[in-house]
Amino acid sequence: MKITLIARAYGPYRGRVLGLIKSEISNMISELGADVQKAATDKRGHITLSITGAEEEFITNVLDREYGIAPKPEKLTIGQVENGYLWDVGKVGYGLYVNVGVSKPRHMDALLPLHKIRDQFEMLKTPLRKIAKALILVDNLPVEVVLTGIDIHNSKIEAEFSKQTLDRIERWSKDDHERLLVFGVTRELLDRVLLKSGHEGDIYRIERIGPFEYSLRCKRSTRASGIVAAIGPKLKGVPMHLVIPREMEAIRDATT
């Protein structure tokens, strides 16, 4: 049995992520007499698994619940909620694309049209680049979307951000804590790097926003830029983004 997950392994620690997920899933399904023979990635970093053993339907349901299984185009329906990753942010001006894992028979990313993004964030005349900068809408950011249009024949999907994602962005922008987003790493690696850098005590909470994507909520007295300076050299090549509420609000205020 071959399965493609929505969860992705990418960046310099791709191999470590694959090793972890293979070990985790092998432990999950070992009592069923099943085993993960191979864990790899497709061209977009989605994790692919080769699994041997019985209980295929049960295993599929477990993996879908824990990591998300890439949907088949013919199974998509209007109003359906899908998890995915922002993709190629800034490449076009008419909207944002979300990689929801559809790759067969061809890649089908969900388009969030600019007019819908403007409506959802009440930034009615703001260019897309400024919206993305104000809200920290960046490549590899895990998001949840609601499908609003499906045209399988022409390989087109349209969507809008779900309430859960809207609430998360709003919460970040109104918070009095700065955050640092770190993508493509394991929690174990992140904890170890923070400990070695001496900044473990400067993080109020580590929030898991994707299978291997984290939001580090800093203590009020801590600047996220200082955390980047400390752990960046130890995580070379890992995507990191600052979330500074006062700057987010300033950009939004300037565009309204």
Domain range annotation of the chain = 2-66, 73-162, 175-255
Query: Helices 128-135 and 114-121, interaxial angle, to 10°?
Result: 50
Largest CA-CA distance found in the chain, in angstroms, rounded? 59
Helix, strand or coil, per DSSP, at residue 131: helix
Mean of pLDDT over the chain = 94
Q: How far apart are CA 246 and CA 223, in angstroms?
A: 12
**Residue where the block lists tokens 């565009």:** 255
Helix, strand or coil, per DSSP, at residue 203: strand
Per-residue pLDDT for 238 more than 90? Answer: yes
φ, ψ dihedrals at 225, nearest 5°: -60, -30
φ, ψ dihedrals at 96, nearest 5°: -115, 145
Please write the tens of the pLDDT for every residue from 84-98.
999 999 999 999 999
Per-residue pLDDT for 53 more than 90? Answer: no
Per-residue pLDDT for 145 more than 80? Answer: yes
**What would the two tokens of residue 194 be?**
């923070």
**CATH number of 2-66, picked from 1.10.287, 3.30.70, 1.10.472, 3.10.20:** 3.30.70
CATH architecture of 175-255: 2-Layer Sandwich (3.30)
CA triple 37-39-44, angle to 5 deg: 150
Per-residue pLDDT for 54 more than 80? Answer: no
Query: Helices 128-135 and 245-255, interaxial angle, to 10°?
Result: 150
Q: Are 190 and 206 in contact (CB under 8 A)?
A: yes
Closest CA to 70 of 37, 24, 104: 104
As assigned by CATH, the class of the 73-162 domain is: mainly beta
For residue 251, the surrounding DSSP H or E stretch is helix 245-255
Asked whether the domain spanning 175-255 has the same topology as the one spanning 73-162, the reply is no
The amino acid sitting at 173 is: S
Q: How far apart are CA 96 and CA 89, in angstroms?
A: 6
The amino acid sitting at 143 is: V
Q: Does the N-terminal peptide bond of residue 245 adopt cis geometry, omega within 30 degrees of 0?
A: no
Ranking 15-19, 57-61, 129-133, 167-171 by mean pLDDT, the lowest is: 57-61
Q: Does the N-terminal peptide bond of residue 105 adopt cis geometry, omega within 30 degrees of 0?
A: yes
For residue 24, the surrounding DSSP H or E stretch is helix 14-29
| pTM exceeding the 0.85 threshold for the entire prediction | yes
